[in-house]
Structure 1
Amino acid sequence: MIAIRQVFARSPLLPSLTRRAMSTAAADKKFYILRYEYVGDILERRGPFRAEHLERAVNAKKDGHVVMGGALVNPPDAGVFVFNVADKQLIEDFAKEDPYVLNDLVTSYSIREWTVVV
C-alpha cells in the first residue's frame, strides 16, 4: 500500500487530473447578469420591501450563487446582480420571488449570460 501511495505521489498526471476535474466542475457554472429596471420612484417605494430584498440577496451570496449585486446610481433606475450558477432557472426563480418584483418596483428584468475574460 505504501508503494502505491509513493507512485501516485510522484505521478506527474495526478496534479493535472485534479486540475482538470476541478476546472470541469467550474466549467459547469456560468456567469449571468440579472438586471432590474426600476420604477421612477423606487427610492420612495422600496422601504417596506427592502429588508427582505437584501436578505434574499445576502443569502444567495452565502449560497455561492450571487457574486455581487447592487443598484445603479445617478439616476437609481436599475439594479444588477452577477450570478455564477450552472442552472439559469435558479436566477429566474430568484427574480420571480424577489419582493421588488412581486410588489411592482421592477418594471422589467433581463437575464444575460456573461463571458468573463479577465
Structure 2
Amino acid sequence: MAHYLLIYDLAPDYLERRAAFREAHLALAWRSVERGDLLLGGALADPAAQAMLLFQGEGPEAAETFAQDDPYVAAGLVTRWRVHRWTTVVGADASTPVHPNDR
C-alpha cells in the first residue's frame, strides 16, 4: 500500500469561514478514517494557509474523491488542491521501509 498526500491551499479567510462547513468536513474525514483510507489530517498553523491529509491505498483515488466531495472545497475555503504520492521510508508504517544496512 502506498501513501498519498492531499495538499490544500486555503483561502485567506479560511479560519473565519470554516465554522459553517466544519461538521460536514469532519464527518467526511472520519468516514475516510473508518474505511482505512485517511491516516492523518489537519491544517498547518501560523499561518493557516495550507492543510495536509495523509491517505493510504493502491492509488490516489481515495484522496482525489475526498477532495471532490469535501464541503471546504465546494465552499471555496480551499483555493487549490493536489495529490502527491509520498514515498515513505522511515517509521513503523512506512510504505517502503529502508534501513541503514539495506543498501
Instruction: Give the TM-score, by structure 2 length.
Output: 0.84
What's the CA shift for 1:103? 0.7
Aligned alpha-carbon RMSD (Å) = 0.8
Instruction: Give the TM-score, by structure 1 length.
Output: 0.74
The answer to whether the aligner puts 1:102 opposite 2:85 as a matched pair is: no
Question: After superposition, where does 1:3-42 map in structure 2 within 5 Å?
Answer: 29-42=1-14
Structure 2: where are the runs of 5+ without partners?
A: 91-103
Question: How far apart, CA to CA, are the structure 2 residues paired with 1:63 and 1:95?
Answer: 16
**Which among 40, 48, 53 is matched to residue 68 of structure 1?**
40
Structure 1: where are the runs of 5+ without partners?
A: 1-28
Give structure 1 regions of 4+ aligned residues with deviation exceeding 6 angstroms.
none
Question: How far apart, CA to CA, are the structure 1 residues paired with 2:84 and 2:59?
Answer: 13
Higher helix share: 1
Q: Larger deviation: 33-42 or 86-95? A: 86-95
Question: How far apart, CA to CA, are the structure 1 residues paired with 2:62 and 2:46?
Answer: 30
Identity rate, percent: 38
Question: How far apart, CA to CA, are the structure 1 residues paired with 2:59 and 2:25?
Answer: 21
